[in-house]
Structure 1
């Protein structure tokens, strides 16, 4: 596991795999909306790109990134 993925897991309590591969879609949505930092978000995008490449999930992650950026301003 890369260092950034380890840090993301430590800071959030969930790995990208746990966020993006839950047993149902409600947990998937919760995993995305509870991303609170860009580092975790980047780790999730990298995970999704490397594994499933689901366009809908990548769009949700992109939307969450937009929300996080607007909170930083």
Structure 2
């Protein structure tokens, strides 16, 4: 059974760099929409601000934060 768990990768185990700087830029959105908690989202915002500062990415992260907040209500 441990073999199966070793092979599966939870979306929460992705680092901000893996989410925001994939080899294929189309995967950035996928990395953002799979964020389901504010802690991960804040880490991604901090990473983006420190490294790239791309307004479009920060807006996507802001939208995801709104989605997370609305789900918590």
On whether the aligned pair clears a TM of 0.5, the verdict is yes
The structure with the larger Rg is 2
TM-score range, shorter chain: 0.7 to 0.9
**Cα root mean square deviation, aligned:** 1.5
Offset at residue 25 of structure 1 (A) = 2.3
CA separation of 1:68/1:48 partners in 2, compared to 1, >3 Å: closer, same or farther? Answer: same
TM-score, L = length of structure 2: 0.83
Offset at residue 11 of structure 1 (A) = 7.6
Equivalent in the alignment of 1:45: 45
Distance 1:66 1:13 in 2: 22
Q: Deviations over 1:40-62 (max 9, x none)?
A: 00000000000000000000000
For structure 2, the residue ranges without an aligned partner over 5 or more in a row are 1-9
For structure 1, the residue ranges without an aligned partner over 5 or more in a row are 1-9
TM-score, L = length of structure 1: 0.83
Equivalent in the alignment of 2:67: 67
Cα contact 2:16–2:44 (8 A) shared by 1? yes
Equivalent in the alignment of 2:18: 18
Q: How many residues align?
A: 64
Equivalent in the alignment of 1:56: 56
